[in-house]
Structure 1
Amino acid sequence: MTARKLPLRVLVKGASTVNWISPMGGPRTDFTFPRALEERLLADGQPCQVQTITMTSEQTSKILSTWQREVLGYSPDVIVLVYGHYETIHLFLPRWLERHANSLRARPRLWNRLYREKLLRPVWMALAQVQARLDRIVPTIRANRPRHVVADLERYIGHVQQAGSPLVYCFELLPPTERFRSWFPGMAERIGIMNNAIADMVERIDLPHVRYFRVAPIADRVSGGDPELATPDGFHYSPDLHRAIGDALAEDIGAWAATQPHLAGAPAPARDEGTA
């Protein structure tokens, strides 16, 4: 039988940590980590298709309503999940107001500019300052948030196992840098709690193809221990960090792909007579 070698299929999902580079506006070679992953896999001789589905300020709960159309037809070999970050923001203010105030879809019209500059932005900043002050006197994190994030991720991982047991990565989240913590006083602590909850979930699932991907050691290596260089705007990865994450993912995925007959070019296993 002729050996069949198929392209490795990768699905990357997450919020702005996936799609935003800090700072923006650089050359075309400033890749986000999914593109850097694709580049590295191809350079290593691994045919691949990397599909990225991402939206700023996306909540983890959204993945349960989209997984069938994103996974069942595409049947990815690898799924990368970068979720839980948004739920660590204090969010006393309504989510719709935060997204409206920071929307990138505003039209360049005079009335729209005046509304945003004279009304929306000042009101939003004043409310955000109140929110930051309140954040110093309330519990570090609402107990249900990490529990809900983990429950959603675990349910999603269970669902996608039906599509050929793909390799799944759940990302470690980076805390905001020091100069941005005045706006988000308890966020670093909340991210620590969220990371522990996600790591515990992966350990509890206890499958070799469901993995917790550590980002902090890569950030430390790239930045020489200076968080401001790893995430210049306080939250989003620098071009160098994106590329380093892509390289690290490619190395781990490549080792896993070598064990998969359809990706290594080995003949497909024989099937029993009468199997549909």
Structure 2
Amino acid sequence: MNNRTSLYIKFLIGSFLLLAGSCIGYKKTLYFQGAAETLPPPKLTQTYTLRVHDIVQIKIANPDAENPAVLSGEQGNIQSNVADAYFRDYYINDSGYVELPVIGKLKLVGYTIFQADSLIAKKAVEYYSNVTVEVKLASFKFMALGEFTKAGLCFVSNETCTIYEAIAIAGDATDFANNQKLQLIRTLEDGSKKIYHINLTDYSSFTSDNYYLQPNDILYLQAQKAKVDKQNITYISIALSAASFILLLLTRI
């Protein structure tokens, strides 16, 4: 075997190894690997505190009033969606306040939903008897980035949202997602960011303290190296074909 033939064989072996390295890692795409087991329920704590620019739905009803809806400022039958919520509900302004009919301005920034409910109820009884108060967060949204089928800004219609509900809303992971490397980026009250690393292939994700999302969270699902390799495969294939042809010619000279 001459040197040119040996070089040609080594080149083909190297090309094969390069292509093999671009294969998708099977275990990195699976959810819930390992033996099934009984898991404790995840923790659900109201740790999210209201912030400026949040939208809250506030209902103050008095069964004795002719029009109970007037107390919370509702008019007519309004559709329940994110766009209408801005007009129907209450926007927390830059100073952290909302302005309610009759009751006036209340500062809600820094309170949880439960605390805001109690605060408004305490103020409402100063003006009305036999009132009921209900407060909900109407602006629950999160950002899905990376290897999601429907990456982008996502809205949640419920008051709570788990990691896996968020993944479903974002269209599930793509074939190139590395489910071992999900990052949850959370904005804290002081504006700083905290990053949590979550392994979706392990059952421990169900018992994580971050199993439930908070409004304005960012989910970033990393891609496998195979995605980059696949994107370059067309150019590599052309280069390999050209190089193979040249080497084949050289072996015949």
TM, length-normalised to structure 2: 0.25
Asked which structure has the greater CA Rg, the reply is: 2
Higher relative contact order structure (alpha carbons within 8 Å, sequence separation ≥ 6):
1
Bigger proportion of residues as helix = 1
